[in-house]
Every structure is written in structure tokens, then in C-alpha cells.
Amino acid sequence: MGFKPRVPRTFRSVVVNENENNTPWANPDILPVPYEERTYDWKGYFGYWFTIGMTTTVWALSSSHLAAGLDAASAIGGILVGSVLASTVAVFCGEPGVSLVGQVRLIMLGETDTALGKILYHLGFPMMSRATFGMYGSFFVIIVKCFVNIILSSFGIQSYWGGQAASVVLGALSPSFLNMPNTLPESAGIDTQRLIGFIIFIVIFTSLMFIHPTKLQPLLFLSQILIGFTILGLFIWAMASNSGATILPPSTELSSSDRSFRILLAMSSVAGSWTGSAIRQSDWTRYTRSRHSVVWQQMITGPISTVICATMGVAVTSAVTEMYGQAIWNPITLLSFLQHNNYNAATRAGTFFAGIGFFMSQMSVNLVQNSVSCGMDLASLWPKYIDITRGSLIMCLIGYLIQPWRFVEQPGMFISVLSAFGMFVSPLAGINCVDFWVVRKRKWRVPDLYNGNTESIYWYTFGWNWRAMLSWGLVIWPSFPGFIANVTETADSIAVGWLRCFQVSWITGFCGGAVAYYFITLICPPPGGKPYEKLLLEEESNTTIEATQLSNTGEDVSKLENKFADNNNRIV
């Protein structure tokens, strides 16, 4: 029997899951996750947060703040506080994936009797955006979020560093590859060797887009082991080779006010680098069967792994500077440096295995932080034609074409890029949190999240919640002058206050967005969020939630069965 090529499922028809009764507002990827697909336990979320904490980004971030003038203790302290803030936001934004609704009426499948029980939402970030910004307003949120991930190159940065790791592995295997002459012009911003590594990374990484998120746990488990041993190995090598390390002093002398601001900048930049994961946490928490397996990993594993990685990054950078007289703030760049300066059997073996560790780490962090989540988000824009796989592939294509290496070669530019993440996204996170926790008190009318007309309480004004849009606009505009100055490299031409407002935009954005939205809704409450309004979670006419009562433990007592009404696209 000859080989018969198999067309991936996502390409077998133009319409997503053409056998399903899809609607303009729903497909299986954005509906409540069925019970059999809730496969993540504490080990899966440990791998998720360990992978995010032990990254090239965190290592480079700590060292880049040293290069910007902070002492090691202040840099690591700022990173710790920033990671704790971001993990707290992750808990708040992840709640719709696991949140228990109060008592709701359940229609028992196969029976006519009713009973009282509890259900879990198991809904992701797109539904949180619909509830807060409106059915069409959520499109704006998704586009902004994807803009940050793709155009501002959160995805591209991770892909570029993954490509560098591939180059390190090839350089360890082949001296001819290591010494390959560059055939690209200087204007390309990259040399031939790194471009080959980048292409290898994107070919392997793109193939992973066809794996469903529920089946990624083995990859995360392997990645956390490899990157953990890689970072520990680099630390041991640096300490042994240099007989310890004297932590580098600040590169410049800062005044007390400048030092305080730099600490705020460290907090804002690390929180900004986590914002993409934090605001989308419900995209991943929806795959759990127990909220307890999620929260502890968010609050403990993430910050601890981040601080460990940052501390080791500072120590290794300090030791390398003492040994070679050169501060190398990127660990993958360090591996390449070692190959070019001491190419022997031990160096080749060490850099090979370290390169594999960073390569796997970059693939995993790009999956969980960017591509899969972005695929889920894009699926909500055009559910009939885009699923998670197609959305992820769209993001990959754009992310590869924007030349991400132009964003990360200088420490100052690197910090500015991370600040830009926070500027655009942190107000959205603050607004979403206040709407879900304070205004609506965690109560959603789930069928209305899939109903794109005036019958939905989330239709607001022509599909837009002007309260949320106004809050975002009020908070983001003070950061724009600094953002434009950074993009156009004209920072010297504006007042320092505008520049600093942009640099700490995660802090001002999240807090400002939350406060602005709270007071606006206090004056003009949205439907479903009025203090005197009792939200009906069940209307027997056509918005009944069908469920099967599984237990009375309160942890998970339902398995949602979603059906679409032909006449009005409501789940009945």
C-alpha cells in the first residue's frame, strides 16, 4: 500500500466544521468547553507557568535593566513585584474559565423535571470581551490584542530568538555553518546564518499549529524540564568558570528619583511582557476541571520561576562580564559568543544541549502566550470560517513577515517594546476585570454572548459598549506622545513626562482603565450590571441552559450541551 497524503482537517472545507450547525457568532472552539476536553490538571498549569517564567525574555529583561542603570537588587525586586502584579491579573482574568455561577435552573437531559445546581462557564477571553465591550466592540479588543502580539512582535520576538537557538544548535554540529559568510545586505538587519535558523524555527513551529490545545501538555512538560536544566547548567558553568561572580554595579549613576522611576519601569516592563498571557488566561483555564489546579500555579509558580530566572540571568551576565569584559544580556547570544571564542569539544556539546533547551522553550512559550491564544481570539471574529488552527496560522504568517529581529537587538528598544505591550493591553485588562468582578459580580447570561441582535444584553449600543470604549480612550491617550516618540526615535524632542508616562504605561493603564470604567458604570450602569437589576440567568422561553447534574460537590456539576436555534442564533 502506497503512501496516501492526508489533508489536515482544517483545510477540508471552507466552512469550519461544516457538519456542525455553526452561526455567525459561534463555533465549537469558542463555546463552553465540553467535559471530555477539560484535560488540564495542576501539572499542566505548572508546566504552563514554569515555561513562561523561565524564558529568554525574563533573562534578558533583568540584564537589560542592569544595562539601563539599576543595581541588581532593585532590578530583581522590580521584576518580582511586576510578576506578582501580572499573576494577580491572570487570576482575575482567568476566572471566566472556571468561575462558578450561583444557583441556576437546570433542565435535566432526558427528563422534564428541573433542579437547582451550579455550572462552570468554561469560556475564554473572546466571551469576556463580548460581555464587556459588546458584540462588535469585542472585535476591537481582539484586533488590538492581536496587533500587540503580531505587529508589536511579542510573537515575532519569541520566534526570532527561537531561530537564534536553532543557529546555535547547527553551529555546534557544523563548524562550516558557524563560520558561514553573510550574503545578505546590511539593510536586511539579519545575517545569513540567523535567517537560516529563523526559517528552521518557523517550519517546525508552524507544524505545531495543527495540535489542539488540549493535547499540548506533554510538550509543556518536556519543555519545562529542558529549559530548567539549561538555565541551571548555564548558571553552574558561569560560577565554576569564574569562581563565583561579583554582581555588576549599575552602568550609570542614577539620582534617587531616577532610580525610583527605573524600578517602576522594571515592574511595568515585566508586567507588560506577561500581559498577553494574563488577559487571556480564561483561554487556558477553561480546559481545567478544578479551579484549584489553576490559581496556585498562577500565584506561585509564575512569580517564583520568573525571579529565579532573572536572578540567574544577572549572575551569569556578571560572571561573563568579568571573564570576557563584555556584558551579554541575551543567553542565546551568549551561547553564540562562546562558540566563536572557544570552539572546542566541551563548548560544542554544552552549547548544543543548551541550544536545544532554549529552542524548545521558545516554541512552548510562543504556543501558550501567542499563537494558540491568538487563534482562539481570531476564531471569534469570523466563527464560520476561522477556527483555532486557522487563526494561529494567520498570526504565524503575519508574525514571520514583519522582520521581528529589528525590535530586540538593543536593550533600550527591547524595554520600549515591552512597554508598548502594556500601553495597549493593560487598560483592556483593567476594564475587563472591573466589569466581570465588580459591575456584574461574575454573573453572565451565557446565551446572550452568542446572540448578535438587540435581544442580547451585550448588544449595548449597536453592538458597542461605549462605557468601555470611553474608558480605554481616556487612559491610553497620555501614553501616545511617548509611544510615537519611541517609534520615530525622537524621544529627545518631547517633555520627559510624556516619555515616562509611556514607559510605565502598564501601571497607569491597568489602574486608570479600572478606575475610569468603574466610575462611568457607576453613573451609567450597563444592562446586566445595574445595582437594582436582578440578572435572569435562565429564561424558559428560549435561553434555557441544558445540563447534566454530575455531583453536588460544587466543583463541577454540569456538562453543557450547546444547540443553536435556527431562528435567532440563541443557545437553547
Predicted local distance difference test score (pLDDT) of residue 270: 84
**Based on the number of CB atoms within 10 Å of its own CB, is 473 exposed (0-12), middle (13-18) or buried (19 or more)?**
exposed
- What is the rounded (10 degree) CA torsion for 24, 29, 33, 37? 150
Phi then psi for residue 257, to 5 deg, are: -70, -40
Question: Which residue from 85, 74, 84 is spatially nearest to 511, judged by alpha carbons?
Answer: 85
Local structure of 455: helix, strand or coil: coil
Alpha-carbon distance 386 to 28, whole Å?
11
Considering only the C-alpha atoms of the chain, give the largest distance between any 2 of them, rounded to a whole number of Å.
Answer: 78
Predicted local distance difference test score (pLDDT) of residue 429: 93
How many residues belong to the chain?
572
Query: Within 10 Å of residue 290's Cβ, how many Cβ atoms?
Result: 15
Q: Which three cell numbers stand for residue 31?
A: 463555546
The tens digit of pLDDT for each residue in 530-570 reads 654 554 444 433 333 333 222 233 333 333 333 333 333 33
Going along the chain from its start, the domains and CATH numbers come out as 28-547 (1.10.4160.10)
State the distance between the two ends of the chain, measured CA to CA, in whole angstroms: 47
Task: Provide the 8-state DSSP code for 495.
Answer: -
Give the residue ranges of the chain where pLDDT is below 50.
Answer: 1, 3, 101-119, 411, 532, 535-572
Helices 411-433 and 256-279, axial angle in degrees (round to 10): 60
H or E segment at 115?
A: strand 114-117
Contacts 24+ apart (CB under 8 A), 203-206: 204/363, 205/159, 205/162, 205/363, 205/366, 205/371, 205/396, 206/393, 206/396
Local structure of 104: helix, strand or coil: strand
**Based on the number of CB atoms within 10 Å of its own CB, is 42 exposed (0-12), middle (13-18) or buried (19 or more)?**
middle
The tens digit of pLDDT for each residue in 186-211 reads 888 889 999 999 999 999 999 999 88
Alpha-carbon distance 285 to 307, whole Å?
23
Alpha-carbon distance 317 to 329, whole Å?
6
Taking a C-beta distance cutoff of 8 angstroms, is the pair 386, 379 a contact? yes
Predicted local distance difference test score (pLDDT) of residue 107: 33
pTM: 0.83
Using the CB atoms, write b or e for 370-388: b if 16+ within 10 Å: bbbbbbbbbbbeebbebbb
